[in-house]
Amino acid sequence: MSRLRFLADHDLNEHIVTGVKRLNPRIEFIRVRDVGLEAASDHEVLAYAFRDSLCVVSHDVNTMTSAAAATIAAGQQFSGLFLVRQTTPVRAAIETILLAWSASERDEWRNQVVFLPF
């Protein structure tokens, strides 16, 4: 089983990343700043995530959705995009990420744009 791995976009609430890792330290949740992408465009973030089989988690509901649509329109792929509205409670986002990690495989999310919580 290929477990989900996550890439936190530059604006994702740090409490979400910290909470996921605290509740399950086995989950890989990288931040864009950890890999030198803090100033990267949404397209670059999606491309990097695809190359490294990472599902992007972001609060950028409008721009990331557009970048994902443009990626598909260009005949390219991405590893998955989880969008969390700014108004979503942190705990709900954490629990949904934990659920997705434990109950699905990485390839199930390819080219999928999903709003959290489910």
Does 1 score more than 80 pLDDT?
Answer: no
Q: What's at 64, amino acid-wise?
A: M
Q: Is the residue at 78 inside a domain?
A: yes
Domain tally for the chain? 1
Calculate the CA 114 to chain-centre distance: 10
pLDDT band per the 50, 70, 90 thresholds, residue 33: very high
Contact 4, 100 (CB under 8 A): yes
pTM of the shown model:
0.96
For residue 25, pLDDT over 80 is answered with: yes
Tell me the residue length of the chain.
Answer: 118
User: What is the pLDDT confidence band of residue 111, given thresholds at 50, 70 and 90?
Assistant: very high
- Return the CATH number at 16: 3.40.50
Does residue 1 sit within a domain?
A: no
Boundaries of domain holding 40? 6-116
60-85 burial: b if 16+ Cβ within 10 Å, else e: beeebbebbeebeeeeeebbbbbbbe
For the segment 45-56, the average pLDDT, to the nearest whole number, is 98
DSSP string, 6-29: EEE-TTS-HHHHHHHHHH-TTS-E
